[in-house]
Structure 1
């Protein structure tokens, strides 16, 4: 028989395996940071509470996990750990400098730090350390985002875009046509952007964020 504690333990394990706390997982999923807190796991009457289907679905989407992964956690098992590699860590301020990326959006050169990260199938993946407030509330200063130039990009994905003028920005892809790329700002206090295709040097998908 499925118990409340099994579901909550699975959520905790999902967060842990992605290097997050339960509250950081909720924030990354676009939920209230307290959604998965222990205080939310019981009602005011002291009875166990189930997490909502929507919150669980968003947590899975945010981590790239599947329903099958969740079932494995619920059954008390753990997924096999993915092989660990290292990815270059580039300061977000540095990302705008010429010479850090080639025309395809792959980091070139050296001299930056490296951080361990599970293998994601893209040898050119790299990490950007967030600075400033332009990506709040989703990503805050000091957070690290993992970017994969080799991943396919779809509408609704969060992406890092570099213009031919050397500007680097993190946005959400609203629409892409043969002539224009429409981007929404992650922080509503900052404007979105509409760029002609020829103004964009490259666009890479954000796969993961540590918080």
Structure 2
């Protein structure tokens, strides 16, 4: 139903992704049924498709909103809405962000965060407007199957993290020691320690809080 409505509005998958604030592959998976259409997704998509969230979830073929959208004035407003959002982000689409990392990671996938830039990539829409956004190249398979070796993780350094979020953490074990970066799953942090979860092999990593330089939220990951 998403594809049918999108095509009626003459929107590409990329257009809809921009309007919703996600990636084109996510829209493709939602249309193919590879990703479940949850209530949250329906609420995000429905304003840009001209239907109620319930109609999008349950596919009511008699929903008049769907039928009258193309010729109606309301349809013109719907068309203007994603167009306006796309225009708002056009500048961000042309912005490049640095990619940090190294070809080979340590035992737990850690790598030196010494400020050296591997290369630059185009910022995805989700972080194109965020000052200080950056990306890191995943080293090793310590977080497989969530992240694969060589993937690019896109980072929002301003977003608050919570339990279950995927993060990049910068650790300095010694006062003048190297700055190490870890891509892991956030468990908790208090005045004593930071606890992270690793998948492969499964284990918890613990760092004294006074060694933690930063904990930044990973928005999404994929190939460059």
Q: TM-score, normalised by structure 2?
A: 0.60
Where does the alignment leave 5 or more consecutive residues of structure 2 unmatched? 51-77, 105-109, 174-178
Q: Does 1:168 align with 2:168?
A: no
Mean Cα deviation higher: 110-119 or 136-145: 110-119
Structure 1 residues 111 and 183: CA distance shift in structure 2, 3 A: closer
* Length, aligned pairs only: 170
Aligned counterpart for 1:181 among listed residues 194, 197, 202: 194
Residue of structure 2 equivalent to 1:114 = 120
Where does the alignment leave 5 or more consecutive residues of structure 1 unmatched? 27-35, 42-50, 61-65, 101-109
Residue of structure 2 equivalent to 1:46 = none
Is the Cα contact below 8 Å between 1:20 and 1:210 reproduced in 2? no
* Structure 2: distance between partners of 1:14 and 1:142: 28
* Structure 1: distance between partners of 2:117 and 2:3: 47
Residue of structure 2 equivalent to 1:192 = 204
* Structure 1: distance between partners of 2:16 and 2:3: 15
Tell me the CA shift for residue 205 of structure 1. Answer: 1.1
Tell me the CA shift for residue 88 of structure 1. Answer: 0.4
CA-atom RMSD in angstroms: 3.5
* Structure 1: distance between partners of 2:217 and 2:47: 28
* Structure 1: distance between partners of 2:187 and 2:181: 17
Residue of structure 1 equivalent to 2:47 = 72
Radius of gyration: which is bigger?
Answer: 2
* Structure 1: distance between partners of 2:102 and 2:220: 15
Mean Cα deviation higher: 79-88 or 14-23: 14-23
1:1-211 to structure 2, matched below 5 A, reads 3=1, 5-6=3-4, 16-17=17-18, 18-22=22-26, 36=30, 38=32, 40=33, 52-54=36-38, 57=40, 60=41, 67=43, 69-75=44-50, 77=79, 78=82, 80-81=85-86, 82=89, 83-84=91-92, 85-93=95-103, 96-97=111-112, 99-100=114-115, 112-117=118-123, 118=125, 119-165=127-173, 166-185=179-198, 187-211=199-223
Tell me the CA shift for residue 113 of structure 1. Answer: 1.7
